[in-house]
Amino acid sequence: MMFLARNWWVFLLRGVFALVFGIAAISFPASAFLSLVLIFGAFALVDGIFALISAFRSEARTENWWWIILEGLLGIVVGLITLIQPASMAQAMILIIAIWAFVSGVFKIVTAIQLRKLIVGEFWMILGGIFSILFGVLVAADPIGGAFAVGFIIGIYAVLFGVTMVALSLRLRTHNARHSAA
């Protein structure tokens, strides 16, 4: 995977872009959700482009190479759809998030009940399931409030993703420097 190390800067750009996006989302949660959707569309599009650059700049076509291409294509498609149809995508995103949170909560509770005989402390998983169900119901009942909450959560995710990408890029840069000098 030396091609990843040689292209460490792509991960750095992805991380910096994610950090900027995340900080903006956290700083302005009361702004229109539609604006956040547009920013997300731009983020997905740019991230997809950088993923494709990373894949096509690689000299070695390993078995994992096509996953990076798929990730890039998915980002580009989602980004373009979001930028072309932002209102529809905003409604769809809120509905999908509400359904996902509800179903995920049910699965957490069912899994915790099944794990009751194997582990102690399954209560925490049940509590997490209850929170997920409540979040899903609240988002479905109040999509505008849900949009603000989702905007904040997306911001936190983007910041965490950005930090991990920057950290990875620095590790890859160090690895590249060691192996390029040798």
Predicted confidence (pLDDT) per residue in 62-96, tens digit: 666 788 889 999 999 999 999 999 888 888 888 88
pLDDT in tens, 46-55: 999 998 998 8
DSSP letter at 135 equals H
Q: Is the overall model pTM greater than 0.75, yes or no?
A: no
- Domains of the chain, by residue range, sit at 2-181
- C-alpha 165/C-alpha 72 separation (Å) is 15
pLDDT at 175: 83
pLDDT at 145: 82
- C-alpha 136/C-alpha 140 separation (Å) is 6
pLDDT at 76: 96
| CB atoms closer than 10 angstroms to residue 11 | 23
pLDDT at 121: 75
pLDDT at 91: 82
For the chain, 182 residues long, the average pLDDT of each consecutive 10-residue run is 77 92 82 75 93 80 77 93 88 85 91 78 86 90 82 86 91 85 67
pLDDT at 88: 84
- C-alpha 80/C-alpha 94 separation (Å) is 18
| CB atoms closer than 10 angstroms to residue 55 | 22
